[in-house]
Amino acid sequence: MRRNWRGGALFLLLYLMALAATAPVSLAVKLLPGEVIAEDATGAVWKGNFRNLRWKNITLSRLSWQWGWYNGRPGVSVVANGETGRIEAAFGWLGSWWVAGGRWQASAQRLAAVMERAGIAPPLPLEASGEVILRLDRLRFTLSECLDLAAELDWRDAALSASGQRLLLGAPRLELNCQGRTIHAALHQPAAPLPLSAEGRLALSGDYRIFLRAGPADALPAQWLLILENITRPADGGQRIMEISGKWIRHPR
């Protein structure tokens, strides 16, 4: 009798879960917080679309999702277009939060404009061009620490412009990993006219440090050489170095 009761309870639970998953997403929209605005919802809870989804100053368009199994783990796959480009990733929870197969792509001009509005602007009047692509192979984290991170950020056809002069940077690559409560980054750009390398770290507390090494810069135009000399100091072998450290404090909007 007890075994039959357990079997019936399990069947009822699965039935209710199936009803919830196949329910029209328009019903689920009514459960969203008041500050979240969803437009033109179609599909079901397990697989659906929003034409627009707005929360505070963030807007996502053509957002779609689908629940399923990803690398043997239950989760949801999401594709959306935001102010800073196209985003796609699968994520879920299995003892810790995980993200896999992530990809984000945007033009350098669009990204620079968003950063400027957010108060994150370079110290010099520079214009960036090219395409920025982030590939997130895997990320696993809790609210208190980063457990695993493997990601690469490529800046294709990278170039900077200042006062009508354009400097080609080739294809810089930024590699990301984490350890405990700190994210580590390494930048590589071996191509002329300005070979670059940099290392940086950002702690969960907001403390950051960036160390950059550039040059030799013999092939740089005079204007760009002057800019480089103004923001760096000399090092061995005709190279220039720069070190920045501080604390990143995100102000509430």
Residue reference for tokens 């370079």: 122
pLDDT in tens, 79-98: 998 877 889 999 998 889 99
Alpha-carbon gap, residue 238 to 233, rounded angstroms: 11
Burial class (CB in 10 A: 0-12, 13-18, 19+), 63: buried
d(CA 80, CA 91): 14
Percentage of residues in the chain with pLDDT exceeding 90? 29
What is the reported pTM? Answer: 0.79
pLDDT in tens, 165-222: 888 888 899 999 999 899 999 998 877 678 889 999 999 888 999 999 987 877 788 8
pLDDT digits (tens, 9 = 90+) for 173-182: 999 999 989 9
pLDDT tens digit string along 122-153? 656 778 899 999 999 999 999 889 999 999 99
Q: What is the pLDDT of residues 31-48, one digit of tens each?
A: 777 788 888 888 887 788
Q: Considering only CA atoms, which of 209, 212, 170, 208 is closest in space to residue 192?
A: 170
Domain boundaries, the chain: 1-44, 57-247
User: DSSP letters along 135-192, please?
Assistant: EEEEEEE-SS-EEEEEEEEEEEEEEEEETTEEEEEE--EEEEEEEBTEEEEEEEE--S
Task: Give me the chain's average pLDDT, please.
Answer: 82
Residue type, 13: L
